[in-house]
A and B are shown apart, each in its own frame.
Chain A
Amino acid sequence: MNAGAGRFGTRGSRARQVAATALLAALAALTASGIAAAEGGPTRSEYVAQLEAVCKPDALATQKAVKGVKDDIRAERLAVAAGKFSAAAKIFAGTVRKISPVPRPPADQAKLAKWFTYLEQQESYLKKIVAALRAGSTIQAQRDTARFVHNGNLANNTVLAFGFNYCSFKFSRFG
């Protein structure tokens, strides 16, 4: 740089000024875009990765918690089954609590708001299933389970394009 400045004289200092201005402009533009990106939140794929990391251990824990519940239902050990579903409901509630504050991609705000509404309903249906089983009300438990599964499918359809695995509703995880 110095050698060049000496060689070009006054024209060199003008060139330096232009270069410095361009550099500053470029830096400003980069900083501005960086701030915009930070304000805009994560991309969809970043968001999915973040949520899946939370959902995976909880989904596996749910599977463990409900293990054997099929046999409990068949043998009409409803209180035991209720206990297992209660554990699953607690895990589910914890997952929702952990994933809801995660910053969302701006373009997906509306979709995700709808998805979280479904997730809250899922939590409520799980609690209702537990209550019905504890009360020995098999018909009510049947109804709430059907709603739980239907609502889970609606939740999945809302975020279909996200390609969730552990964060999506899967019937097989509950039995």
Chain B
Amino acid sequence: MRRAAAGGGAWGARAAGLAALAVVAALAALGGLARGEQVQQGNLIVSLDGGISPRGLPRDRPAPAAVSLSGRLRTADGSPLPRLGGIELALAGRGLLFTRGLPLCPRQRLRNATGAQALERCAGALVGHGRLRAEVFVPHQAPFAVHARLLAFNGRARGGGVAVWVHAFSAKPPVSFVLPFVVRHRPGAFGTALRASLPRSIGPWPHLTSFEMTFGRRYRYRGAFRSYLSASCPLPPRFTAGLFPFARATYTFAGKRRLATTIVRGCRARD
């Protein structure tokens, strides 16, 4: 499967130049791949799950789609997780995002905002939602879990590139912060990467234990419907379904320790 976007206009032109899929890719059917893939390094275990919706996509042109990703971090013996310094979510294909005509949300408008306030201030720029769970370590106190709701907004990075501001808000205890993901395009199987560094100023939050995010948005631009994400399933005519390396999550922990996990998912060719 191949995903494309119209970074600058017509979708079809970019679709042709997108990164290719893996081999078996062109072969496979879709059943039974719902479980997330796991990787263990020493005591640390990370997993990633996710998929694309709809799974039925045109062979020859990109169509509107949504992507969901969920990750989990844990230790084999239940000991506290190391501090997370950064996270990268990479997706197969390049030019997968289309943001022209989509309102921008300045990052400062999300500072100290509740979920409702963030939505009120930047509803037009909303591109995703999800949940996050973290362990909070407070000195001389037992660690406790915090559940936060996530809202993703279309943003602009300092250099002018595409960014995604992931706003997290927890009511109990009341905490609000922004994870600044910068979108990078590069060659290779995972051509679109969302990368965020977690500054120490976030405090105890980086002991992330799990997250779920769904990205996708339909909107009107110059009289036409557009999609924040687009995808195609460019299989040979005799094949109806294919598998491909869909996404990779790379976690960077304190001490520059890195752990990455890749998931393989499928698409069905819709003629």
Contact = CB atoms under 8 A, between A and B. Distances in A.
Interface of A: 66, 69-70, 73-76, 129, 138-139, 141-143, 145-150, 153, 156-157, 160-161, 163, 171-172, 174-175
A145 B238 contact: no
Given A129-B27, A148-B24, A73 B236 contact: yes
B196 interface: no
A175 B25 CA distance: 8
Contacts, number: 96
Contacts of B30: 146
B178 interface: no
Contact of B241 (A69, A74, A142, A148): A142
Contacts of A161: 40, 76
Contact of A145 (B21, B24, B189, B262): B24
B243 A76 contact: no
A175 B27 CA distance: 11
Given A73-B239, A147-B32, 13 more contacts: A70-B22, A70-B26, A142-B29, A145-B27, A146-B30, A146-B33, A150-B31, A153-B37, A156-B38, A171-B22, A172-B245, A175-B22, A175-B25
Contacts of B42: 163
Nearest to A68: B23
Interface of B: 20-33, 35, 37-42, 45, 76, 189, 236-243, 245, 262, 264, 266
B40 A160 contact: yes
Contacts of A75: 236
B62 to A, nearest CB: 18
B252 to A, nearest CB: 19
A160 B45 contact: yes
A11 B87 CA distance: 73
Contacts of B241: 142, 146
B29 A175 contact: no
A146 B29 contact: yes
A75 to B, nearest CB: 8
Contacts of A148: 24, 28
A149 B28 contact: yes
Nearest to B32: A150
A69 B23 contact: yes
Contact of B27 (A142, A150, A153, A156): A142
Contact of B245 (A69, A73, A171): A171
Contact of B31 (A73, A74, A146, A153): A146
A70 B2 CA distance: 13
B240 A139 contact: yes
B41 A163 contact: yes
A114 to B, nearest CB: 16
Contact of A149 (B38, B76, B236, B243): B243
A156 B31 CA distance: 18
A174 B22 contact: yes
Nearest to A148: B24
B24 A149 contact: yes
A73 B27 contact: yes
Contacts of A138: 27, 238-240
* Residue from the set A75, A138, A148, A160 with the largest chain B CB neighbour count within 10 Å: A138
A75 B236 CA distance: 7
Contact of B21 (A70, A76, A129, A142): A70
